Amino acid sequence: MGWLLENEESFRVAPKNEDELLAQVKHLIELMMLLNTLSSHDLRGDSISKLTQHALKYGAEFDWHQLAAYDASAATVVAIVAEFFDARNLAPPLDLDYIRSLHSIGFFEGMDRIPFREMDLSYCLSLIISPDFSKQLPAEFMNTAFGLRQHLARYMVDDLYSLTHAVFYLTNFGRSQLSGILDHETVIRLKRELVALTAAMLRADNIDVLGELLLCWLFCAIVDTPLHRVVFRESMDRMLSATRPDGQVLPVLKMMPRAQAGETAFEDVYHTTLVGGMLFSLAAQEMPYVH
């Protein structure tokens, strides 16, 4: 969290061109998602408080209508911004009636989305339009690689991200239980395959995906068994081995020589550091699989 705070200026949306705009918006939205999740799990701290103030400042100074006017994927962005401000009893820095009017004319549906991005849209519409949109998530989940029962050996990195993000939306980042959303057989298979995929990722050099999988363990409340304890602890050791003394979490261990030479950029490490910040904070609070 200290590294994120030291680099807080990099979360400001101050683009020089359209490509920079989309990247910088992504940085800030992902920071807000981290802070929303920590807050919903009653995690507090000086760094969290200061990061929240910076995020509120940067969120208030950017014109979000500028993004929503041209990009059909903006539903995700404006929903996270609105939730972030609402959770702190502040009016969002955008006109929600304008966003609702865009939804009413089908603007946000004006692009093709892969299945887990359909879940992304439904989740975000449930935040800003109606909670009823969350009812679409289970059916959309069945169109993902997991839902189509793809063999684990055939999972690509994108398939892994589709699964982790789907779990984030289905559990509302650990605020809801899977048992009230998915049938019992699917919940059992999901937990079993999350464990197997985590073990597989221990043989790969992808700390970002590994961190998201471990978050899914916490959000899904995977049962504590001797085998699960070994997999989880070995995975946490891998995460910690990729964490530098200054707090940045490297996305791949082969980046270590660059990090030791001080040659990593914000863009290289910020996302994995956000994942690590969420994972380490939640795991420290709940102390799972450590007895």
Residue 80 within any structural domain of the chain: yes
Any domain includes 70: yes
Dihedral angle of Cα 34, 165, 125, 54, to the nearest 10 degrees: 20
Any domain includes 197: yes
Q: Is residue 129 part of a domain?
A: no
Mean pLDDT of the chain: 95
SS3 276: helix
What does the pLDDT look like over 12-24, one tens digit per residue?
A: 999 888 788 889 9
Q: Would you say 99 and 67 are in contact if contact means Cβ atoms under 8 Å apart?
A: no
Tally of domains within the chain: 1
126/176 Cα distance (integer angstroms): 14
85: in domain: yes
State yes or no: pLDDT of 291 exceeds 70: no
Averaged pLDDT, 122-148: 96
Predicted confidence (pLDDT) at residue 120 exceeds the cutoff of 90: yes
Residue 153 φ then ψ, to 5°: -70, -15
8-state DSSP, 144: S
Mean pLDDT of the 197-219 span: 97
The pLDDT confidence band at residue 71, using thresholds 50, 70 and 90, is confident
Pick from 58-72, 119-133, 173-187: least confident: 58-72
**Amino acid 287: pLDDT:** 83
Examine residue 76 and state whether it is found in any structural domain, yes or no.
yes
Please give the model's pTM, rounded to 2 decimal places.
Answer: 0.96
Residue 3: closest CA among 261, 271, 206 = 271
Tokens (6 digits) for 78? 């404006």
What distance in Å separates the CA atoms of residue 197 and residue 145, rounded to the nearest whole number? 13
125 found inside a domain: no
Structural domain boundaries enclosing 39: 2-114+179-284
Q: How far apart are CA 195 and CA 190, in angstroms?
A: 9
Q: Tell whether 183 is covered by a domain.
A: yes
